[in-house]
Amino acid sequence: MPLQILLKDIPNYHEIEVYRQHGGYHIFKKAVSKKPDEIIDEVKKSNLKGRGGACFPTGLKWSFMPKDNSMPKYLCINGDESEPGSFKDRQIFEYNPHQLIEGTLITAYAIGAQTCYIYIRGEYVKWIKLMQKALDDAYAQGFIGQRMKETFDCDFTTEIYIHKGAGAYICGEESALMNSIEGKRGYPRVKPPFPAQCGLWDYPTTINNVETITNVPEIIDKGGEWYANIGEPKHPGTLLFGVSGHINKPGVYELPTGTLLTDIIYKYAGGVPGNKKIKCVIPGGTSMPPIRGDQIEGLKMDAESLKAVGSAIGTGGIIVMDEDTDLVKVLARITKFYYHESCGQCTPCREGTGWMLRVLNRILDGKGTSKDLDLLIDIANNIEGHTICALGEAAAWPVKFTIQRFRDEFEARVGREIILPIANKVHSMRTTLEPLTDIQVG
Amino acid sequence: MPIVTINDQKFEFDSGETIIQVAERNGIDIPHYCWHPRLSVSGNCRMCLVEVEKMPKLVIACSTLAMDGMVVHVNSLKAIAGREHVMEFLLINHPLDCPICDEAGECKLQDYAYAHGTGESRFIEQKNQKPKRVKLGPYVMFDAERCIACSLCIRFSAEIAKEDQFTFVQRGDRVTIETFPGKEFDNPYSLNVVDICPVGALTNRDFRFKARVWDMSDTKSICPGCSRGCNIDIWVRNNEILRLTPRFNEAVNDYWMCDHGRINCFKFVNADDRIDSPMIKKAGTHVSSVGWDEAISKTVSTIKRFKSDEIAVIGSPFAIVEDNYLLAKFARQVLHTKNIDFIKHINPADQDDILIREDKTPNSLGAKLAGISPRNGGLNFEQIMEGIKGKKIRCLILIEDDVAAISQDFLDSLSNLDSFIVFATNNNKSTELADIIFPSATYAEKNGTFVNFQGRIQRIRPAVMTIDLDRSLDAMSLSRLDKFGTEFDRWGKARKINARSTWRIILQIANSFSMKFNYETSEDIFLEISQTIKEFDGLDYELIGELGIQLKSYQLVEEPILV
């Protein structure tokens, strides 16, 4: 049986008594016997990378929090999990909520947060209830809140609240998530300032993914070194791979980083129905660049290996598409999602997502031309890097890379010629009295 | 001091300043829509993208802090390309209705489309459709299709007007603005959002569709609505004022003005009830129009019938310093009366700590400084009214005010007067009782000065022609139509009122008493004021300039001066 850190084959492990029988909440007692900085160092040693998609080193993120304990500090656990193809945090809420809670307590202690929010997407009605039950049980036994002092014989206390999302993908973006908790419109904030300086209600805040935090108790229990040796050294640990699409056994599989993609698909998830060939795999949720079927042989699933083939690990949501998949339709559907979810705050994403969708729909209607494909890539490039948050990239990457990597399929769907109404181009490049810095005069 | 390099020029800056602030301070233009120097930074329009050396991506100048040694290129090819992309995105769903849009001519989207657009559109899809005429409040109309979602109006409302009344709703390119349920966008400063809206999404319901902006002349002036003295521009087309807009003056009104000033402080200039010639009451019945000479000789003969202590004079906080000064001098040297004062118009219920002052006149302090106060035991305003009631005061000279409107008691007393001489711009309750009426020019038809509650002296200038004023001869501001229209146009056949500055009328009366007052312009009077009244020492119109100047003895006055 593969190594289990996050999801364990123990019956009723979600119940607090079962969790306690297996050593639960003792790790926190061990943690408070150390100094907060020692906890952070241990996590740094483990080389744990954020599981929300950006793979930012968790210990380093914690170390950005000011050490000054005179002001309020906050911890937010991001369980907004809204990326299509991503459904891993749900399993933790259902099957291992207390490890998440214990991880939250340890993290709160490490960074000095007196208040923690677990932000769960509103559509997870059942999982919000399950999580709330687990929290209530932990409160009842004195593991959270004021009674922590007696329970763990320590000076530290913290409160944990569940905050329900209201149906916006963008609230999974960490600064929009904070605005959402504050009761504001879910708009991402302009960075800098970063959350560790100015976060929730303008106080220092750390935001971590559910899966990231669920790793923490085991790291503290077994040591950073132990964890750093699991899987790929540069991206250690186990990942929850959510496998979906054209697959015989869709589901969430906990496997060490560096597991072969082909192993995940064929060994664990039962292969492709009808033994069809694979045309395309999206490795980490729909915002990640897709991989061609001819790239998957020997491909390891970890941040570095995926980067090497021009994609990224994202949230580990693997979407498998067989040889009969209509990628134009897939791309239009993905683009519709980001169009629908763009918050509308900043110009490139607000306008660009709708534009890309309309062009793709036109291509689906058989009215596209090959110039439209170049236009789509151009729009995607113009969104990328010009927006307040990463939703710009999330919308641009699928368009850009799906067309680039499956250009032949797209070309087959569009006409060859187009007459675009082009006005006279009347402008020079120069806009002011000052000469262009890029052009050497004389 | 740390140094930032922008476009190869080195600038010192204070820590905490953003790139756009440093650039703005040094006269370098970085295009922007959603940034405003007085509002929080939202960073949403992305128009201020600039290239910073050693940074991988373009950054927005409005939120990126200047750092020591930072090298910024506003006009590198990469930065220009970034802005062109933003312009392309902004224009794809923007309706191309510039020909009927009020903003055209002062629209940032238009300006930047010329300066930073690619000149062509690659967008051949259906544009978004959104509501076109949404009444957000009593004065502001919203066109959702034109909106570029910069959030300036929302931030203005929350941060400057201090009333949260509306917000964004919907997501993505469906985003639009709605007032909160049960709320109207009706705060006293609502129309400022029309000025800061970079496009034609928010328009002034009082002005929309009245004129193209390039067909109007604009004249720098002062709002007469209260003692704040907000700096304004008067916009005139066909000799008719169509709108007022605030003019930036950090010391007085910053970028703003209130809706009351903007809506209610110009219509009387164009109103039908303007007094359009001198008038005399004949045979105890109605007043009828007469020539200036007849009205003046009638005035002289009337005044000569009274002893000096039977005469009282009421100056005006609505009139300019020069009017009041000459009136005071006239009272002293010609009428020899000590009974001189002016009426205060205080409304403590209508004031705030933003702009609006309880003193509803523009020049109380100026009137007082110009000498409008009882001399050596003379009667003040209340005593004058008592004197009229007791028939001790038999002749009253009133300029630019409406004493009869103050109370029924006053109105009744005024019928006791043997002679009531009124200088007024419009018909009012006092002119109805007057024996002689002189048509005064309004604040929009003359040169002069007001002193606001801070003790700041500020200039007004003629924006509207009277019979005596000519747009080109008197160096008034000219619109395109003024310059290039022909006499065959409807333009130029505008109504001109037969009115004169109050001081000019007083001057003529005084000289008919064989005085030798010698003033050609209001500035001649002002120069005499500056030599005789210490608060105005050494000042002239040029020194006062466009933004006014603090009177020396009134430095740092924060609280209202109750005169």
Beta-strand relationship, B311-315 and B340-342: parallel
| Start-to-end CA span in chain A (Å) | 72
* Binary contact (B90, A431; C-beta < 8 A): no
Which residue's structure tokens are 């302090």?
Answer: B365
Enter the DSSP assignment of B466. B
Q: What is the DSSP string of A358-386?
A: HHHHHHHTT--BHHHHHHHHHHHHHHTTS
- Mean pLDDT calculated for residue range B453-457: 95
Q: How many CB atoms lie within 10 A of CB B54?
A: 7
Q: Determine the pLDDT at residue A18.
A: 97
Quote the distance between the C-alpha of residue B491 and its chain's center. 24
pLDDT average, residue stretch B70-79: 96
Write the CA distances from B413 to B115, B286, B406, integer angstroms: 66, 19, 12
Q: What gap in Å lies between CA B370 and CA B522, rounded to an integer?
A: 14
Nearest CB to B122: which of A345, A347, A375?
Answer: A375
Token pair recorded at residue A180: 């959402």
User: Is A375 in Cβ contact with B44 (below 8 Å)?
Assistant: no
Q: Which residues pair with A238 in a beta bridge?
A: A256
Cβ–Cβ gap A344/B60 under 8 Å = no
Q: How many CA atoms lie within 13 A of B282 on its CB side?
A: 8
Instruction: Name the pTM for this structure.
Output: 0.92
| Cβ–Cβ gap B42/A190 under 8 Å | yes
**CB-closest option in A347, A387, A423 to B90:** A347
State the DSSP string of B78-143: HHHHHHHHHHHHHHHSS---GGG-TTTTS-HHHHHHHHHS-SS----SPPP---S-EE-SSSEEE-
Q: What pLDDT score was predicted for residue A441?
A: 44
CA distance B279 to B284: 13
**Which of B63, B77, B175 is nearest residue A344 as measured by Cβ atoms?**
B175
Predicted confidence band of residue B193 (pLDDT cuts 50, 70, 90): very high
Cα separation of A256 and A251, whole Å?
Answer: 16
Confidence at residue A416, expressed as pLDDT on a 0 to 100 scale: 63
Question: What percentage of residues in chain B have a pLDDT greater than 70?
Answer: 96
Query: Contact A119/A165 with Cβ under 8 angstroms?
Result: yes
Query: Residue B557: is its pLDDT beyond 80?
Result: no
Please tell me the distance from the alpha carbon of residue B480 to that of residue B198, in angstroms, as a whole number. Answer: 23
Q: Residue A242: enclosing H or E segment and its boundaries?
A: strand A238-245
Helix (H, G, I), strand (E, B) or coil at A286: coil
Cβ–Cβ under 8 Å, residues A287 and A172:
no
Give yes or no for B115 touching A (CB within 8 A). yes
CB atoms within 10 A of CB B305: 12
Residue from the list A350, A355, A438 with its beta carbon closest to the beta carbon of B175: A350
Residues of B in contact with A354 (CB under 8 A): 93, 128, 172-173
pLDDT category at B553 given cuts 50, 70, 90 is confident
Angle at CA B68, nearest 5°, toward B62 and B70?
A: 60
Q: Check pLDDT > 50 for residue B561.
A: no
State which H helix or E strand residue B71 sits in.
Answer: strand B71-73
Give pLDDT, residue A442.
42
Tens digits of residue pLDDT in B521-546: 999 999 999 999 999 999 999 999 99
Q: What angle do CA A407, A170, B41 make, to 5 degrees?
A: 110
Place of tokens 């209340």: B382
CA A345, A348, A349, A353 dihedral sign is: positive
Long-range pairs of B506-511 with CB within 8 A, sequence gap ≥ 24: B506/B323, B506/B326, B506/B327, B506/B330, B507/B326, B508/B292, B508/B296, B509/B296, B509/B299, B509/B300, B509/B330, B509/B334, B510/B326, B510/B330, B510/B333, B510/B334
Q: What average pLDDT does range B422-445 have in this prediction?
A: 96
Across the interface, do B125 and A387 touch by the CB < 8 Å criterion?
A: no
Is residue A193 reached through a cis peptide bond, with omega within 30 degrees of 0 on the bond before it?
Answer: yes
Take residue A207 and report the two structure tokens written for it. 């935001």
Residues A437, B75: C-beta atoms closer than 8 Å: yes
Cβ atoms within 10 Å, residue A192: 10
8 A C-beta contact, residue A411 and residue A370: yes
- Cα torsion B226, B228, B234, B240 to 10°: value is 0
Question: What are the two backbone dihedrals, phi and then psi, of residue B170, each rounded to the nearest 5 degrees?
Answer: 70, 175
Chain position carrying tokens 């149906």: A167
**pLDDT: which is higher, B484 or B34:** B34
- Tell me the nearest-neighbour CA distance from A296 into chain B, angstroms: 31
- Give chain A positions within 8 Å (CB) of B174: 344
Q: Indicate left, alpha or beta for A14 from its phi (over 0: left) and psi (-120 to 50: alpha).
A: alpha
Q: Alpha carbon B273 to chain centroid distance? A: 22
Say if residues A257 and A237 touch (Cβ distance below 8 Å): yes
* Closest to A271 measured CA to CA, from A297, A243, A313: A243
Those residues with Cβ within 8 angstroms of residue A322's Cβ, 6 or more apart along the chain or in another chain? A246, A272, A273, A274, A276, A277, A278, A279
pLDDT at B55 exceeding the cut of 80: yes
CA distance B27 to A4: 63
Average pLDDT over residues B235-258: 96
pLDDT in tens, B359-389: 999 999 999 999 999 988 899 999 999 999 9
Q: What interface predicted TM-score (ipTM) does this complex get?
A: 0.90
Contacts of A341 in chain B (CB under 8 A): 171-172
**Domains of chain A, first to last:** 16-229 (3.40.50.11540), 232-322 (3.10.20.600), 327-411 (1.20.1440.230)
pLDDT tens digit at each of 442 positions of chain A: 678 999 999 999 999 999 999 999 999 999 999 999 999 999 999 999 999 999 999 999 999 999 988 999 999 999 999 999 999 999 999 999 999 999 999 999 999 999 999 999 999 999 999 999 999 999 999 999 999 999 999 999 999 999 999 999 999 999 999 999 999 999 999 999 999 999 999 999 999 999 999 999 999 999 999 999 999 999 999 999 999 999 999 999 999 999 999 999 999 999 999 999 999 999 999 999 999 999 999 999 999 999 999 999 999 999 999 999 999 999 999 999 999 999 999 999 999 999 999 999 999 999 999 999 999 999 999 999 999 999 999 999 999 999 999 999 999 999 865 455 554 454 555 556 665 565 554 4
Which residue type does A299 have?
A: L
Mapped onto helix, strand or coil, the DSSP state of residue A8 is: coil
Instruction: Tell me if A374 sits within 8 A of A407, measured CB to CB.
Output: no
Question: Cis bond leading into A435, ω under 30°?
Answer: no
pLDDT at residue A298, rounded to an integer: 94
The whole-number average pLDDT for the span B233-262 is 96
Q: Which domains does chain B possess?
A: 3-91 (3.10.20.740), 98-103+122-270 (3.30.70.20), 279-442+498-543 (3.40.50.740)
Closest chain A residue to B117, measured at CA = A427
Cα separation, A212 vs A47, whole angstroms: 11
Quote the CA–CA distance of B445 and B476 in Å, as a whole number.
Answer: 10
- Asked if the model's pLDDT at residue B115 lies above 90, the reply is no
Interface-testing mutation among A179, A338, A347, A374, with chain B (most B C-beta atoms within 10 A): A347
What sign does the CA torsion over A292, A296, A297, A302 have?
A: positive
Distance CA A220, CA A16 (A): 20
**Cβ of B448 under 8 Å from any chain A Cβ?**
no
